[in-house]
Structure 1
Amino acid sequence: MPGGRFNMTPFSCFQAPSAMHSRLVITATDLADLCHVEAFHDLLEHYARDPMGGGDGLSDYAKVHLVSTLKEVPGFHGALAWLDGKAVGLIDCFAGFSTFAARPLLNVHDIVVRENLRGQGIGQALLAWAEQRARQLGCCKLTLEVLSNNTRAMASYRQAGFAPYVLDPAAGHALLMQKYLPEE
């Protein structure tokens, strides 16, 4: 993040921990790198076990198939945050399209920071990475969903420049809805 307090240079899993001392490094998630895959799984499990991630952890199916399936998904953009050589956060984004703007957009699907390190700017650094990636892709905006009682995350998103999606205040703000599709 230019002018920010963190260095966002690339990180190699094989870099000596002493070279990482007291620095946060954000790097694109490489699903072909075992170190990244382990960090990715661990952080998503951490998120899934949090009350704001459902509290149950990843399903056995997701644990087995997530990375291999995700490798086949076009438009995946993810990053890992490393502090002192340890994975401490992640952001997963997917490319989409705004029909109103006739331009691509980038949706932040998951963002997590280890619970004991929240509030220290790691989430802001991950959001800055996503914004930089969205600009590189020519996106018109970043989007994300947040649970209405996740006030800490909402404050962080507002700090990063996010606001509720409103076309006309008289019509209200957008709500995220879902419908599960069971396997047949």
Structure 2
Amino acid sequence: MVDVRVVDYANPRDAQALVTLLDAYARDPAGGGEPLAPEVKACLPQALRQRQGAFSVIAWARDGADAEELPVGLINCLEGFSTFACRLLVNVHDVAVLQAWRGRRVTQQMLAVVERVARERGACKLTLEVLQGNLPAVRAYEREGFAGYTLDPAMGQAQFMQKWLD
């Protein structure tokens, strides 16, 4: 059984679960294969708490009726703005599910809560990025209605790009 709840960044249990799950994701090849820096682990929940428009959800699971509730999945979201729609959008920034819980539709359950929160906030859309080689994630997102971003098919799909400033 999985219960997905919005994170309270001020709650020590939620904050620790968020850091633990994000660190597990960072260590995974899909997350770059490197652990989070100690300063990130120490500051992230408070930094997210201070960002207006940031929210996260955690999937909590029990493997049995008497088992302790454990964090098994995380999604971090940040609000953005669609100039074409003149409305806010929600970027699904990190999606992490512990290896032992993959294939159990944890991502779908978390995305349902993210979508509910986004709709409550008046968002016009959800956006996300995914590595081309992460086919299980691509399929999961497509099942939930995500598709490549195209304005004019002749111009092709949008590409996610980055430029580090440090």
Instruction: State how 1:78-117 maps to structure 2 within 5 Å.
Output: 78-84=56-62, 85-117=69-101
Whole-Å separation in 2 of the counterparts to 1:81 and 1:64: 22
Instruction: State how 1:20-169 maps to structure 2 within 5 Å.
Output: 23-84=1-62, 85-169=69-153
Whole-Å separation in 2 of the counterparts to 1:165 and 1:27: 29
1:76 aligned partner, one-letter code = A
Percent identity over the alignment is 45
* TM-score normalised by length of structure 2: 0.94
Number of residue equivalences:
160
Unaligned 5+ segments in structure 1 are 1-22
Give the superposition deviation at 1:59: 1.3
Give the superposition deviation at 1:68: 2.1
Contact 2:10–2:45 (Cα < 8 Å) also in 1: no
Structure 1 runs of 4+ aligned residues shifted over 3 Å read: none
Whole-Å separation in 2 of the counterparts to 1:32 and 1:98: 29
Q: What SS does the aligned partner of 2:50 have?
A: coil
Give the superposition deviation at 1:119: 1.0
Q: What SS does the aligned partner of 1:167 have?
A: coil
Q: What SS does the aligned partner of 1:71 have?
A: helix
Report the aligned-residue RMSD. Answer: 0.8
* TM-score normalised by length of structure 1: 0.85
